[in-house]
Amino acid sequence: MNNKQTLLLPGPTCVPPQVLSALSKPAISHRGPEFKSLLKEVNDGLKNIFQTNSDVIVLTASGTAGMEAAIVNLISPGEKVLAVTIGVFGERFVEICRSFGVEVEVMAFPYGQQADPKIIANRLEADKEHQIKAILVQHNETSTGVLNDIQAISKARGDHPALLIVDSISGMITADLPMDEWNLDVVITGSQKAMMLPPGLALIALSERAWQAAEKCKNQCFYLDLKKAREWAATDQTPFTPAVPLLYGLKESINLIQKETLAGCFKRHSILRDMVRAGVRALGLKLLVEDDKIASPGVTTVYVPEGLKPSDIIDSLREKFGVIIAGGQRQIKDKTFRIGHLGYVNYSDILAGLSALEVVLADYGIPVKTGAAVAAANDILRSKKNKINLNLVS
Ligand SMILES: Cc1ncc(COP(=O)(O)O)c(C=O)c1O
């Protein structure tokens, strides 16, 4: 039992048993009929999850490849983009753009805050010549635990023609993101987050406007050529050898998500978030994101108490309880840790994690009231608005 682990990470997350067993199916030809029907079925399911009529392109690569694919396929060298950053993954978009000769204007908001749609609207309003070709933004900033208001950012464009490129690698399935209804041009996600799969797939959908931009784009790419991927997708195939086992797994995770419903997934993640926030506060710890309204449904960043290092808590949770949480990142690395609550996570995982955290803090001499975190989290579960089927993930 010593190696049993509970992953409370913001990715990779735990994988449900149904998905695990799908991953071990016998090999098939990726040019044969079984694969074609698999890819078709997966694509139909993904369209529902992305809430779009556009095809969802499946890339065998991690999420960052989806971000890179968006840039190299849509933005030519020398063209300008507005990168709206609220943390590490926004900064990654900036690095990708610079690697490909794209001119980046960075609009940085402090770690722990949401991007302000009004400031974005003002900047676009001032861009009379329409030099800004795209706005890059995270749906959920995993490094801080902030959920951006993507609908408001989309509206902030007004009549400006800039494409809106949204990294929803850790946001999709945890919070609503209706791609077509909100006029989003590119939406990217990855397999190892709320999709409940191992790492290895990047999923990306483009609006018709974005496909038109791809036709004109002069940037260079080969493996990540989305136009080529789209041509192959029309024949229910991929241009290169795909990770077939992950696609079998994806079919299974799509089934699970459909069974729970998207609305059910959003609800569960919001309850998990509220439980973690209530529990951590009951232990006397400080949250990076104080404002409940912008708090991520998938990950919560917590300040380490005075006198402790993040590794004290992270290592003790792993060694004593097999509970795996993540460290902070970049500017807040030395003072925070992150509790992930996305994907194949249920309420009892959070109760167990909070309970373990309480013991670890008490062992370090931090004054905590026995059972306080679990009691606060249980209050969330038992509150009127959460009177729902508590065993959503089956
Ligand atoms: C918001 C966000 N963007 C991008 C990435 C990068 O994805 P990957 O590590 O799969 O390349 C991550 C991974 O944690 C993420 O959370």
Ligand 1 within 6 A of 89 CB?
A: yes
36, part of any domain: yes
Indicate which atom in ligand 1 lies nearest the CA of residue 66. Answer: 11
Q: Is residue 274 one of the residues assigned to a domain?
A: yes
Task: Please indicate whether residue 167, judged by its CB atom, sits closer than 6 Å to ligand 1.
Answer: yes
Q: Which residues contact 249 (CB under 8 A, 6 or more apart)?
A: 15, 19, 20, 22, 23, 191, 197, 198
Same domain, 210 and 359: no
Could you tell me the pLDDT band of residue 3, with boundaries at 50, 70 and 90?
confident
- Model pLDDT, residue 241: 98
Residues 6+ apart with CB under 8 A from 270: 175, 297
Residue with the bigger pLDDT between 391 and 270: it is: 270
> Probe ligand 1: pick from 89, 94, 204, 301, max atoms within 8 Å of CB?
89
- Determine the distance separating the centroid of ligand 1 and the alpha carbon of 324, expressed in angstroms: 18
The mean per-residue pLDDT over the stretch 107-121 comes to 98
Final residue in a domain of this structure, among 259, 286, 316: 259
From 196, 202, 171, 198, select the one nearest 295 (Cα to Cα). Answer: 171
Q: Is the pLDDT of residue 394 over 90?
A: no
Residue 31 has pLDDT above 50, yes or no: yes
> Does any domain span residue 65?
yes
Cβ(348)–Cβ(336) below 8 Å? no
Does the pLDDT value for residue 391 go beyond 80? no
**291 pLDDT exceeds 70?**
yes
Ligand 1 lined by 296 (C-beta under 6 Å): no
Asked whether 190 lines ligand 1 (CB < 6 A), one says yes
User: How is residue 335 written in tokens?
Assistant: 């003072």
Given 233, 259, 285, the domain boundary residue is: 259
- Claim to verify: residue 151 and residue 196 sit in the same structural domain: yes
ω before 12 within 30° of 0 (cis)? yes
Write the CB contacts of 222 (distance below 8 Å, at least 6 apart in sequence). Answer: none
Q: Containing H/E element for 132? A: strand 132-138
**Which residue's CA is minimally distant from atom 8 of ligand 1?**
63
Q: What is the largest CA-CA distance in the chain?
A: 63
- Cβ of 93 closer than 6 Å to ligand 1, yes or no, is no
Please say whether the beta carbons of 148 and 141 come within 8 A: yes
- Count of structural domains, the chain: 2
Q: What are phi and psi of 287, to 5 degrees?
A: -90, 145
* 120/225 same-domain check: yes
Residue 143 to residues 12, 286, 301: CA-CA distances in angstroms? 14, 16, 8
Of the candidates 225, 259, 293, which is a domain's last residue? 259
- In this structure, are 116 and 198 located in the same domain? yes
Atom of ligand 1 nearest to the CA of 138: 1
Domain that holds residue 53: 17-259
Side-chain-side CA neighbours of residue 268 (13 Å) = 26
Separation CA 66–CA 58 (nearest Å)? 9
Task: Look at residue 388 in the predicted model and tell me its pLDDT.
Answer: 57
Average pLDDT, the chain: 96
Tell me, what's the pLDDT at 390?
53
Report yes or no on 394 lying in a domain.
Answer: no
The answer on 197 and 63 residing in a single domain is yes
Q: What one-letter code names the amino acid at 205?
A: A
306 and 228 co-located in one domain = no
Q: Is 170 in the pocket of ligand 1 (CB under 6 A)?
A: yes
Q: Say how many Å lie between the CA of residue 32 and the centre of ligand 1.
A: 32
3-state secondary structure of 49: helix
Please tell me the predicted confidence (pLDDT) of residue 393.
47
**Is the beta carbon of 298 within 6 A of some atom in ligand 1?**
no
What is the atom index within ligand 1 of the atom nearest the CA of 89? 3
Q: If you measure from the C-alpha of residue 170 to the centroid of ligand 1, how many angstroms do you get, rounded to a whole number?
A: 7
**CATH number, position 106:** 3.40.640.10
Confidence of residue 389 (pLDDT cuts 50, 70, 90): low
Which position has the token pair 């556009």? 54
For ligand 1, the distance from its centroid to the CA atom of residue 375, given in whole angstroms, is: 33
pLDDT at residue 114 greater than cutoff 90: yes
Q: Are residues 315 and 236 in the same domain?
A: no
Shared-domain flag, residues 195 and 206: yes
pLDDT tens by residue, 331-383: 999 999 999 999 999 999 999 999 999 999 999 999 999 999 999 999 999 99
Q: How far is the CA of 257 from the centre of ligand 1 (A)?
A: 21
Ligand 1, residue 64: give the atom nearest the CA.
Answer: 11
**Atom 12 (ligand 1) nearest CA:** 169
Average pLDDT over residues 283-293: 98
User: 352 and 323, same structural domain?
Assistant: yes
Q: What is the mean pLDDT of residues 72-97?
A: 98
Substitution candidate for ligand 1 out of 86, 144, 165, 170 with most atoms within 8 A of CB: 170
391 falls within a domain: no
- Report yes or no on 120 lying in a domain: yes
Q: Where are the alpha helices (DSSP H) in the chain?
A: 17-23, 33-50, 63-74, 88-99, 117-126, 150-156, 208-216, 226-233, 244-260, 262-282, 310-316, 347-363, 372-382
State the pLDDT at residue 384.
Answer: 74
In a domain, 177, yes or no: yes
Say what the pLDDT of residue 78 is: 98
Binding site membership of 63 for ligand 1 (Cβ less than 6 Å): yes
pLDDT tens-digit series, residues 52-72: 999 999 999 999 999 999 999
Cβ of 249 closer than 6 Å to ligand 1, yes or no, is no
CATH number for the domain including 364? 3.90.1150.10
Residue 30 shares a structural domain with residue 146: yes
Atom of ligand 1 nearest to the CA of 202: 10
Same domain, 212 and 109: yes
In a 3-state reduction of DSSP, which class is residue 71? helix
The DSSP secondary-structure symbol of 287 reads B
Asked if residue 63 and residue 179 are part of one domain, the reply reads: yes
* The two structure tokens encoding residue 324: 């795996």
Region 137-164 average pLDDT: 98
In a domain, 393, yes or no: no
- Which of 9, 64, 95, 146 to mutate to test ligand 1, by most ligand atoms within 8 A of the CB atom? 64
Mean pLDDT of 297-315: 97
Per-residue confidence band for 386, with pLDDT thresholds at 50, 70 and 90: confident
